[in-house]
Structure 1
């Protein structure tokens, strides 16, 4: 997994704020499981998280890009964000 620390921290902050899990913010790292492991991350929260990431990082995510692999861990989501940023 190739992610930079700044992007990882930004993605973690976005996840925490979007899901309202401030009480668990310190426990998140690149290996933290997301979809299916975090009850707050349901399909509606995925849409909200995607929208927030698009606004925060200034890119658009096509619906067919959203897969379970992207939301497997904090690190996999960060890697996706890094790739989207690099392709701008």
Structure 2
């Protein structure tokens, strides 16, 4: 069973990826925990990462410090979802 609020965070993350990266709803809906992100999605370059993180802060009401982010955080959709969920539900 998922902690309360997890589904909402995942839905917000999917919407943010669609909006910031210009991805189709169908493409983002197909993402699962193992879907690779940074390095696999040409839309997710270093400039897009900054925009994505800023938008997640706004939409989830969280603060993301530079120290919070490393290569593993953006490696897969599952890793990014866990990160966002941990930040939003702590």
Task: Pick the TM interval, shorter chain.
Answer: 0.7 to 0.9
1:25-44 mapped onto 2 (5 Å cutoff): 25-44=28-47
Q: Which residue of 1 aligns with 2:79?
A: 76
**Residue 12 in 1 paired to residue 17 in 2?**
no
CA gap 1:26/1:84 in 2 versus in 1, 3 angstroms: closer
- How many correspondences in the alignment? 86
Using the size of structure 2 for normalisation, the TM-score is 0.84
RMSD of equivalent CA atoms: 1.7
Distance 1:70 1:24 in 2: 20
Q: Any runs of at least 4 consecutive aligned residues in structure 1 with deviations exceeding 3 A, and if so which?
A: none
Distance 2:46 2:57 in 1: 17
Using the size of structure 1 for normalisation, the TM-score is 0.86
Q: Unpaired segments of 5 or more residues in structure 2? A: none
